[in-house]
Structures are given as C-alpha cells and as structure tokens.
Amino acid sequence: MATLIDGRALAKEVNAHTKQRIEKLKEKGVTPGIATILVGDDPASQIYTRSKEKKAHSLGMKSVREQLPASTTQAELVQAVEHLNSDPSIHAILVQEPLPNHLDDTAIVNLIDPLKDVDGFHPINVGKLYNNVQGNYPVACTPRGIMTMLRHYHVPLASQDVVIVGRSTLVSRPLQALLINEDATVTITGRRTKDLAKRTREADILVVAAGVPNLIKADAVKPGATVIDVGINRLDDGTIVGDVDFESVKEVAGMITPVPGGVGPMTIASLMEQTVDLAEWSAEING
C-alpha cells in the first residue's frame, strides 16, 4: 500500500509560512499584491479566480480582480495589463485562461512584466529556467508545487528515471526542466506514445498530466514508484478523478498523490508563495 502524498496538509504548512513572510514584509511597509485579469464568464475560471482571491485575502495580501467582458478587444486587454505593470502596489499579475478565441494569449503573456509574471510563463523566465540560470525568477506554479512535494517527502531526484505523461507548456515542460536541473533523467511521453505502459513502468517517478481519466493502471507502474497525478477530470456522474487509476495503482506504488487533495492545493499554495517571492525581490530591487 502506497504512502499518501497529502497535498492539502502540505499546502497548509506552505501557506502558514507564506503568511509569516507577508507579516514581515508588512512590517517593512510592503503588502504583497496580486492581480488577476478574467475575461468573459467561463464558470470554471470564475470558481478558480474566486478561490485564489479568497486565499490571498486570508493570508493578508492585496488581491485585485479585473473582470472584463467577453467582448474585450486585444487593445483593451493590453491596456489592462500595462496598467498593472505600472502599478507599484501589484507584484504579481495573472491572466486567467482560457481567453476568448479572438484574443492572442501568447501576446498577452509576453506583455506581462517578467518581474510580475507569477505564472512563470514569460519567455524570459522560461529561458532562464531551461538554461538553469542562477538567481531570482518565477517558475510555473504547478511544477513548483510538485517539486515542493517531492522534496518534502524526501523523494530522491538525482540519477532517478522520471517519466512525464503529457507535453503541455503549463506543466510538463517546465517540470521537465526543473527535474533536469536536479540531475534527474527525464522522458516526456504522451497519450499517443507507442507502448506507453512499457515506458511508464521504467519510471522511478511517474508524473501524469495527460487529461485522460484513469489513463494509468497498476500494470503501467513500477513497483515502489512515486506517482504524481496532475489530472483533474469530472466524469458524467460528477465524480472527480485523476489521470491515474488511484485504487489499483496505490497497491503498487511506493507513494501516490490523491485526486482531489494532491497537486491541486499545492498549485494555489505555490501561487501565493511565489507572489511573496516577487514582492520580496521587488523590495530588494527598489529598496
């Protein structure tokens, strides 16, 4: 039976430490500020944005939500981002995706000040990550949360074989870079990879972010492996499941994240933590 990697419990620890850091910054006259731009009325985005806003307020941050109609033009969205870029009370900017189809999301990501890029998606920050540049810069929050989990549970990284199922620029690719920077050997696969189960069975650490419910079964997991399930899928009956068949895989794996309660809470905790990072770095630059 696998050890459960409890994302909720770890997120509480991370948030407690983040709150302490916020209090110390406030003593110096700095209140970390995060701004979210939400375009349109996508229900999932509304829920996610509200949860982030609630968490930021509970930790003592300034949180601003820019709610724009679905008819917002590219020029209007550019103006909103530029306004936040120039606001010294805002240290972190997040543009909630998906954006309406008529908007160029890549151009908007590139417009965000790299020093306020709390999602870690700006090409400058991505380049620093892939080049393993030393110093302060943000990285994507879900991969950051996964790395925190692996370190907290003392999962070895150097010389370990890691297989990531999924090729997204949001999770899989930045996580690949983070793991390579820790001297892991990383293979990127996808749902269409030939003999996928054969590949995943070679993994000491298996990360699944494919967006396919219960894709990975017990026979695709190396006994004793650490399994990180990034997937969040709602079935027709309303049940939330991951990309890993939890009930069967927990009998084979050494450690495993549940869904829900695994990676999800750590993504938001990492977002809050990184907002404080950006505020601290800004204070150093401007102080």
31's tokens: 């209140």
Q: Please say whether the dihedral angle defined by the alpha carbons of residues 170, 252, 262 and 278, taken in this order, is positive or negative.
A: negative
Element (H, E) at 13: helix 7-27
Q: Please say whether the dihedral angle defined by the alpha carbons of residues 178, 37, 209 and 232, taken in this order, is positive or negative.
A: positive
Given 55, 96, 204, 243, which residue is catalytic?
96
CB-CB neighbours of 257 under 10 Å: 29
Residue 33 assigned ligand-binding role: no
**What distance in Å separates the CA atoms of residue 33 and residue 91, rounded to the nearest whole number?**
5
| Residue 232 marked ligand-binding | yes
Catalytic residue among 52, 116, 222, 250: 52
Does 234 show up as a binding residue in the annotation? no
Residue 67 among the catalytic residues: no
Out of 55, 116, 119, 277, the active site residue is: 119
Q: Which of 116, 39, 117, 114 minimizes the C-alpha distance to 77?
A: 39
Q: Is 168 annotated as a binding residue?
A: yes
| Catalytic residue check, 52 | yes
Write the burial class of residue 73 (CB in 10 Å: 0-12 exposed, 13-18 middle, 19+ buried): exposed
User: Which one-letter amino acid corresponds to residue 92?
Assistant: A
Residue 96 appears among annotated catalytic residues: yes
The C-alpha R_g of the chain, in whole angstroms, comes to 19
Sign, Cα dihedral of 287, 16, 114, 110:
negative
Q: Residue positions in the annotated binding site for NADP(+)? A: 166-168, 232
Q: Residue positions in the annotated binding site? A: 166-168, 232
Catalytically active residues are 52, 96, 119
